[in-house]
Amino acid sequence: MANTGSNHFLDEPTLYPRLTEALRWLQATSQVVGMLAVVIHHGLARFSEANTREINVLVLLCMLMITFSVTIRYFFSRVRKSFLSQHRIHFLASLVWLIGLAFIGGGVRQSIGLFSQIDTDWHLAIFWTEFCLVFRGIWRLLHTVNRLSRTGNNPAILLGGSFLFLIIVGTGLLMLPVSRAQPPELADPIGAPFITALFTSTSASCVTGLIVVPTGSYWSTFGQVVILSLFQIGGLGIMTWGALLAVASGRSIHVRQSATMGEMLESNGLSDLKRLLLTILLFTLMAELIGAVAISGLWSDRPLGEQSFYSLFHAVSAFCNAGFSLQDDGLLGMGERWQVWGGMAALIICGGIGFSVIYNLVLILKSKYWDIERTPLFSISKQKTRLTLSSRLVLVGTSLLLLAGTFSFFFLESLASEGSSPLGHRWADAWFQSVTMRTAGFNTVDLGEMQTSSKLVSIGLMFIGASPGSTGGGIKVVCFMLIGLSLVSIYRGRPRVEWAGRSVPDESVKRALTIVTVGVMTVMLTTLLLTIFENRPGEFIDILYEATSAFGTVGVSTGLTAELSPPSQIVIMVTMFLGRIGPLTLLLALSRTNQGGLEYEYPEERVMLG
């Protein structure tokens, strides 16, 4: 007799609990084995060539088992309508796979020129199955991350763990022979060394841009796509992507998950979080696509396919403030072209200004110019939406830093090399360096030849970085502004930090001071270790430059990165990781919560400060 009672094995009501649990394990195992088979097929060329038929059969069998499992679980379910709604992505992936196989059997390869390069229908069916497996695997991964964020654990630990997982996966993919552009003198394909793959994966996942090998010539097209995927996912954060897919697929966001994501993205309430997530998705896609079209003229001399890939790669890299370039010399000598000082700079600023600021500006424009009462998802209060204090601090601070950086670079470099290049070119280079030094990592000039004074200005800009909730790093613009406002309040004799008719909570000021302190300690410790490991006493400013670039996830270098020893590379990797998750996030992850619930205060006593 079927067991229709309560089931402690599953989170779904079913007629056959134990059998359904076995089917779930079969589905999960088939997914893992199928993904490994795809990696072996395309990554380990020598092995896959000797076992091609067995691997192909295994891929088909895994996808068939997944489809069989989810179908049988549907018929076993006691609430099929709810089961179908909850697992519609699984059904859709299997249905699309089966429809694709039917079209392949009907001769779609001969009728569509795009598939004519594939020699047989069997190979096309294998490629189609692998694509469906990879798509479903990525979806399951993000769904798992999404479920972890519902547990209510420390958001800082979840954030750091998600980046570690992304780095590990990226390292494994970049170590495959298919990821490396094979030298012509080698008969057998080889993969990248572990330390090279780990450094590149860390730099891409942390959207830094520091490299030990040239991205365009060392990595193959597959490896470049892996790097592109890493900094696209790392730019927004894997937890953000998981929540985005949950909202896009119509899934509900758990209350605990809402609190976790709300703390990370600074949103208020569940509905506000959904609107913010969709704003992030739409703004990211629109900015990157428009930016790719705008800067495509930089590679107009290349074939259309290569031009499109270069444009998309650099647009995503600029928006995510990653700084990776497919050209070995970066954007050197291109500073006067409008696609660079205009298009690339706009992408960098948009990616570094912060999604909460973008969302605030969108709400202001909608409340003022657009009737949104007919769109419940984006409906807001009828009260006038104002520019928040955080947005004001970001916009004013960003403008001041951009202007100050531009004038500093122009005058410092012009005084040292007056008349070496046209006036317009010098202004364009100064503007772009001011933009890119705040965590982007591109360069239009030889950074190693810059004046020492310009390098010091660069270090200051890199240390400050971008805005909170953005794709950039550093101590953040808001923190920099709060420190400045604190000095103003002390000078004016005011007990609290005030600006724009608002008082800033003391807790925020304390956090800003903590972030600056931890940031300075991290940069100094990194510089000390690099100085010890590299033993280059005459290049201290370059070592400090490198350490600050890693901490601010900027990615600019005076040429020192490729020459670093393995211990120094490890130091830089750790610094990039700490810089990406942020000093405050690290402290929150390591801090202990007050489990006893006791609150008390000691008597106050003054101390001497000077």
pLDDT digits (tens, 9 = 90+) for 446-462: 888 888 899 999 999 99
Cα–Cα distance measured from residue 293 to residue 308, given in angstroms and rounded to the nearest whole number: 8
Q: 554, 555, 551: which is closest to 579 by C-alpha?
A: 551
Beta bridge partners of 180: 219
Q: 195, 222, 227: which is closest to 39 by C-alpha?
A: 222
- Write out the E strands in 373-513: 498-499, 502-503
Cα–Cα distance measured from residue 63 to residue 59, given in angstroms and rounded to the nearest whole number: 6
Whether residue 248 is predicted with pLDDT greater than 70 in this model: the reply is no
For the chain, give the mean pLDDT: 79
Residue whose token pair is 């365009």: 216
Cα–Cα distance measured from residue 107 to residue 343, given in angstroms and rounded to the nearest whole number: 44
Task: Check: CB of residue 212 under 8 Å from CB of residue 194.
Answer: no
| Biggest alpha carbon–alpha carbon distance for the chain | 92
Task: Check: CB of residue 408 under 8 Å from CB of residue 492.
Answer: no
Average pLDDT over residues 394-408: 93
Q: What percent of the chain has pLDDT over 70?
A: 78
Specify the length of the chain in residues. 610
Whether residue 37 is predicted with pLDDT greater than 90 in this model: the reply is no
Task: Check: CB of residue 380 under 8 Å from CB of residue 363.
Answer: yes
Whether residue 9 is predicted with pLDDT greater than 80 in this model: the reply is no
pLDDT band at 5 (very low <50, low <70, confident <90, very high): very low
Q: Which of 25-29, 288-292, 329-333 has the highest mean pLDDT?
A: 288-292
pLDDT digits (tens, 9 = 90+) for 365-379: 877 766 544 444 444
pLDDT digits (tens, 9 = 90+) for 459-482: 999 999 888 878 788 888 999 999
Helix (H) / strand (E) element for 236: namely helix 221-236
Cα–Cα distance measured from residue 233 to residue 217, given in angstroms and rounded to the nearest whole number: 23
Average pLDDT over residues 349-372: 78
Task: Check: CB of residue 148 under 8 Å from CB of residue 246.
Answer: no
**Per-residue pLDDT at 58:** 86
Whether residue 44 is predicted with pLDDT greater than 80 in this model: the reply is no
Cα–Cα distance measured from residue 595 to residue 588, given in angstroms and rounded to the nearest whole number: 15
Whether residue 117 is predicted with pLDDT greater than 80 in this model: the reply is no
Would you report the helix, strand and coil content of the chain in percent, each value rounded to 5?
70, 0, 30
Average pLDDT over residues 303-312: 90
| Contact partners, residue 190, CB within 8 Å, separation at least 6 | 177, 180, 182
Whether residue 268 is predicted with pLDDT greater than 80 in this model: the reply is no
Whether residue 339 is predicted with pLDDT greater than 80 in this model: the reply is yes
Range scoring the smallest mean pLDDT among 44-53, 66-75, 163-172, 261-270:
261-270
Average pLDDT over residues 170-196: 81
